Amino acid sequence: MTTVGTPRSASREAPERGVPQADLAPTTPLWAGLVAVYRAQLSRTRVSRVPLLFVAVFQSVGIMILMRGVVDTGSDSAREAVVAGSSVLVVAFVALNLLAQHFGALRAANALDYYMTLPVRPAAVVLGMAAAYASFTLPGTIATAVTGALMFQLPLANLWALLLVVPLSGAALAGVGAVFGLLAPRQELATLLGQLGMSAALLLGVIPADRMPRVIELGRDLLPSSYGVDAFIATYGTPDWTAFATNLAVCAGVGVAMLTLATWAFRRTSRG
Amino acid sequence: MAILGAAFTGEHQGEGREGHSPTSDPAPARRSDAACYRVAGLSKKYRTGRRVAATTVHANADIDLDIRRGEIFGLLGPNGAGKSTLVRQLTGLLRPDAGSIDLLGHDVVRRPEAAARLVAYLGQECGALDELTVSLAIETTARLRALSAEAARRARAEVMEELGLRDLAERPIKKLSGGQRRLACVATALVGDRPVLVLDEPTVGMDPVARRAVWAAIDRRRAESGTTVVLVTHNVIEAETVLDRVAVLDEGRVIACDTPGGLKATVGDEVRLELVWRGDPPLDDPTVALLARDAVRIGRRWTTRMDPATARELLAAVTAGPAFGVLDDFTLSTPSLEDAYLALGGRHEGLVKG
């Protein structure tokens, strides 16, 4: 004799009133969760640091070599655009493209279940991962900017500005990457969107803005990486700190909006 | 060739929890009859295909279950039976279309986040942790369960010691062998001491030493803290050995729920006769023809159930006749959980022995 389940007289009723509730374990504070995710993600680079750095820098340096033969090296604005665009491209490659792929892969493997069954806020996971991916880009961006400055005879004095440009443009681009990875219906589409985003950052970032047709210029204005490029350009020659701050403020705003959207997408994705 | 009286008893001792017999009193000292999970009318369906080809598939349908505090409760069934869907609902990962889930007084359907504060879940894969070292994966999980930095380090050290993972501490999880990787993932589920553990095939791929370490760790938590364990398995040996009660799932429904002993009693007095042929059996032999009619045939293995006297008679006829020349092996054994599962109407594919 077997029974199906344990017999109950009213199996459809809501949970009984008066049943003592077990105490819930505390939720993980946002900051503690963010730091734990960030630290865990950053540790992944121990394995892939060298190839990642090599690919990102090699790609950007290759583009600068190519552009050297194309743009008018006598024009300050053209040289600045190429170096700044190539430097921010490293951020787009890692924070946008690779993060989109990473989230796409985690979703495809149901690996986000791990985070969803822990008492950690979705914002902590998204921000921790975005911050880690943005951090991966710093060495590559600096290496590209230094190489570019030497190649195109640009000053190195304001290179410290990258310490602001990378995190803020990184927040915006990682936010876009996270949204792509979390909202794309399939893993392949997440990869495709990440690649397209990076290609757009490449094409619209390294070509001097004043040479672009009006329509393309509009597209450039819609791309968050452009503001990171423009902020970095503003540090060359006689620095325009107002333009620098304004462009970074746009990056920060886009970052906040995109990371908020990614957090929503994370919550939506995981509840099936 | 061997006649096995009490089936698998030797394997049980080697692979399961030491000192725990499935036929002994399943209630440990601290177990109570209070409900841990009360599941009622749980259903989930989804659509596949497009337009004309669209069909509705029931991932699970009308599931009622009570899981008591402190018990090791199993979900048994072949692939696609709906075990993982049910587990995802129990852990708040998947919202059911209908039905209720009460977890220790909390409504998981309405407030799925409550499950994350009561349950430690081990999925079939732990891809989120693959690139971390064993040590960091466990510590990170402890931190994400709201332990302070110091408490997380302490909990990490304890669980690594308990499961024998110290030598693997600094190895990335993805570079470990399948069994070691699974053990590291089990460690992440055990860290942070949750009152409920939901484990989806925790010991798959593990060697007996690792299995024993896992079951010892689970037993300890049950004895000390009354931890409830929901275990998904399609391994009948493990199910018979470690579970207090088991729900058998087939095509999204619970087709039975009882102790392993109670389920095996559904088969009655019947025994199982298994014959393995090394060549083509002589079907013109009346005994072989009779067996061929009733047996489930998978490759060269024939399996059939019958009353013990008939089984002895048929076996004597086969071993005394011309069929013996092509017979490679035979076993006569008391019913297993797999037999109970088949007797209940479950499909025969997909369950694993051993």
Residue with tokens 């990490």: B156
Half-sphere exposure of B130 (CA within 13 A, CB side): 14
- With beta carbons less than 8 A apart as the criterion, state whether A131 and A33 touch: no
pLDDT on residue A271: 55
CA-based nearest distance A124→chain B, Å: 10
Interchain contact, A5 vs B92, CB within 8 Å:
no
Does residue B275 register a pLDDT over 60? yes
Q: Which of B41, B102, B126 sits opposite A114 (nearest CB)?
A: B126
Q: Higher pLDDT residue, B198 or B17?
A: B198
Task: For residue B332, name the pLDDT band (cuts at 50, 70, 90).
Answer: confident
pLDDT on residue A54: 79
Does residue A226 register a pLDDT over 80? yes
Task: For residue B75, name the pLDDT band (cuts at 50, 70, 90).
Answer: very high
Percent helix, strand, coil in chain A, to 5, is 75, 0, 25
pLDDT on residue A270: 59
List strands edge to edge, sheet with B35-48: B55-68, B35-48, B98-103, B106-107
Does residue A3 register a pLDDT over 80? no
Reduced to 3 states (helix: H, G, I; strand: E, B; else coil), residue B302 is: strand
Does residue B20 register a pLDDT over 50? no
Kindly give the pairing relationship between strand B196-200 and strand B228-233. parallel
pLDDT, tens digit, 9 for 90 and up, residues B282-311: 888 888 888 888 888 888 889 888 888 888
If one counts every other C-beta atom within 10 angstroms of the C-beta of residue B205, the result is: 13
CA-based nearest distance A240→chain B, Å: 43
Check if A70 contacts B (Cβ < 8 Å).
no
Task: For residue B241, name the pLDDT band (cuts at 50, 70, 90).
Answer: confident
Taking CA atoms, A169 is separated from A16, A152, A178, A249, in Å, by: 52, 23, 14, 10
Name the average pLDDT for chain B. 84
Give the pair of three-digit tokens for residue B109.
């359907």
pLDDT on residue B324: 87
Q: Higher pLDDT residue, B243 or B269?
A: B243
Note whether ipTM > 0.90 here: no
pLDDT, tens digit, 9 for 90 and up, residues A68-112: 888 777 788 889 999 999 999 999 998 999 999 999 999 998 889
Query: Which residues 94-123 of A are in CB contact (within 8 Å) with B?
Result: 105-106, 109-120
If one counts every other C-beta atom within 10 angstroms of the C-beta of residue A261, the result is: 17
Percent helix, strand, coil in chain B, to 5, is 40, 25, 35
pLDDT, tens digit, 9 for 90 and up, residues B117-141: 999 999 988 888 988 999 999 999 9
pLDDT, tens digit, 9 for 90 and up, residues A145-168: 999 999 999 999 899 999 999 999
pLDDT on residue A47: 65
- With beta carbons less than 8 A apart as the criterion, state whether B119 and B108 touch: no
- With beta carbons less than 8 A apart as the criterion, state whether B240 and B22 touch: yes
- The size of the A-B interface in CB pairs under 8 A is 163
Distance CA B136, CA B31 (A): 34
pLDDT, tens digit, 9 for 90 and up, residues B247-259: 988 888 998 899 9
State what percent of residues in chain B have pLDDT above 70.
88
Task: For residue B345, name the pLDDT band (cuts at 50, 70, 90).
Answer: low
Task: For residue A56, name the pLDDT band (cuts at 50, 70, 90).
Answer: confident
Name the average pLDDT for chain A. 86
Tell me the β-bridge partners of B121.
B198
Distance CA B13, CA B29 (A): 21
Does residue A8 register a pLDDT over 70? no
pLDDT, tens digit, 9 for 90 and up, residues B84-117: 899 999 999 999 999 999 999 999 999 999 999 9
| pTM attached to this predicted model | 0.81
Q: Higher pLDDT residue, B340 or B262?
A: B262
Least confident of B17-21, B225-229, B236-240: B17-21
pLDDT on residue A21: 82
Does residue B12 register a pLDDT over 90? no
pLDDT on residue A256: 95
The C-alpha R_g of chain B, in whole angstroms, comes to 23
Containing B211, the helix (H) or strand (E) segment is: helix B208-225
Residues in chain B, total: 354
The whole-number average pLDDT for the span A15-20 is 54
By C-alpha distance, the chain A residue nearest B193 is A25
Check if A214 contacts B (Cβ < 8 Å).
no
pLDDT on residue A19: 59
Q: Give contacts of B94 with chain A, Cβ < 8 Å.
A: 271-272
Task: For residue B5, name the pLDDT band (cuts at 50, 70, 90).
Answer: very low
Check if A17 contacts B (Cβ < 8 Å).
no
Q: Give contacts of A270 with chain B, Cβ < 8 Å.
A: 93
Give the pair of three-digit tokens for residue B102.
């009460």
Q: Give contacts of A121 with chain B, Cβ < 8 Å.
A: none
pLDDT on residue B3: 41
Taking alpha carbons only, the member of B46, B87, B31 closest to residue B245 is B31
Max Cα–Cα distance, chain B, nearest Å: 75
Q: Which of A1, A43, A119 sits opposite B145 (nearest CB)?
A: A119
Least confident of A241-250, B23-32, B111-120, B167-176: B23-32
pLDDT on residue B122: 95
pLDDT on residue A1: 37
pLDDT on residue B11: 37
Distance CA B231, CA B336 (A): 19
